[in-house]
């Protein structure tokens, strides 16, 4: 399977070990495939930590997290954590603790990233005269 995928010009394929998965290295992948063997054997090889990493990968829709934001709705004191991920040229967002994944306009995300990098530290307030 790896050789077939690697032969495609628009696909980069790599083998990842259970140790790599347990170490959180799924973050750099868009897709993960478990081929051969049995599900129970693969689950044993991954261990509880690895299975948790796979679950997190699936819940986040794959892709690479781009940034996290804390969002507060107007008139609400409740702040929500939102994770924005990129998979290929597509962006998605997911609220912490919710299964829904929202597709985002790439231009809007890129504009937001640029605006965030342009934020400067506020100048110190001038000292008050006595």
Other Cβ atoms less than 10 A from the Cβ of 72: the count is: 10
How far apart, in whole angstroms, are the C-alpha atoms of residue 93 and residue 61?
A: 9
79 SS3 class: strand
- Clarify whether residues 53 and 92 are in a common domain: no
> Is 129 contained in some domain?
no
How far apart, in whole angstroms, are the C-alpha atoms of residue 71 and residue 51?
A: 29
Question: What's the pLDDT score for residue 75?
Answer: 75
- Clarify whether residues 46 and 73 are in a common domain: no
The tokens for 95 are 């609220």
- Clarify whether residues 45 and 76 are in a common domain: no
The residue-averaged pLDDT of 74-101 equals 78
- Clarify whether residues 78 and 109 are in a common domain: yes
Q: Which residues contact 12 (CB under 8 A, 6 or more apart)?
A: 6
Question: What's the pLDDT score for residue 48?
Answer: 92
- Clarify whether residues 103 and 54 are in a common domain: no
- Clarify whether residues 32 and 51 are in a common domain: yes
The residue-averaged pLDDT of 47-72 equals 78
Question: What's the pLDDT score for residue 19?
Answer: 93
Summary mean pLDDT of the chain: 78
pTM of the predicted model, to two decimals?
A: 0.46
How far apart, in whole angstroms, are the C-alpha atoms of residue 108 and residue 94?
A: 16
Q: With contact defined as beta carbons under 8 Å apart, do 100 and 82 qualify?
A: no
- Confidence class of residue 36 from pLDDT cuts 50, 70 and 90? low
- Clarify whether residues 74 and 105 are in a common domain: yes
The residue-averaged pLDDT of 81-91 equals 79
In this predicted structure, the answer to whether residue 38 has a pLDDT above a threshold of 90 is no
- Confidence class of residue 14 from pLDDT cuts 50, 70 and 90? confident
* % of the chain with per-residue pLDDT over 70: 84
Looking at 16, 41, 59, which one is the last position of a domain? 59
Name the strand (E) or helix (H) holding 23: none
Question: What's the pLDDT score for residue 62?
Answer: 63
The tokens for 30 are 């868009």
- Clarify whether residues 88 and 105 are in a common domain: yes
The residue-averaged pLDDT of 43-49 equals 90
Q: What are phi and psi of 77, to 5 degrees?
A: -90, -5
Name the one residue in this structure whose structure tokens are 């995300």. 109
- Clarify whether residues 15 and 50 are in a common domain: yes
End-to-end CA distance of the chain: 76
Total domains in the chain come to 2
Task: Print the domain residue range for 87.
Answer: 64-117
């Amino acid at each position: 399977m790896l050789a077939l995928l690697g032969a495609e010009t628009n696909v980069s394929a790599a083998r990842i070990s259970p140790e790599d998965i347990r170490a959180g290295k799924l973050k750099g992948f868009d897709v993960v495939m478990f081929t051969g063997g049995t599900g129970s054997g693969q689950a044993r090889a991954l261990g509880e930590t690895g299975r948790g990493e796979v679950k997190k990968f699936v819940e986040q829709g794959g892709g690479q997290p781009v940034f996290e934001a804390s969002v507060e709705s107007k008139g609400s004191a409740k702040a929500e954590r939102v994770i924005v991920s990129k998979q290929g040229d597509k962006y998605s967002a997911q609220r912490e603790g919710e299964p829904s994944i929202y597709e985002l306009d790439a231009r809007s995300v890129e504009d937001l990233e640029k605006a965030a990098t342009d934020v400067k530290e506020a100048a110190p307030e001038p000292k008050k005269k006595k």
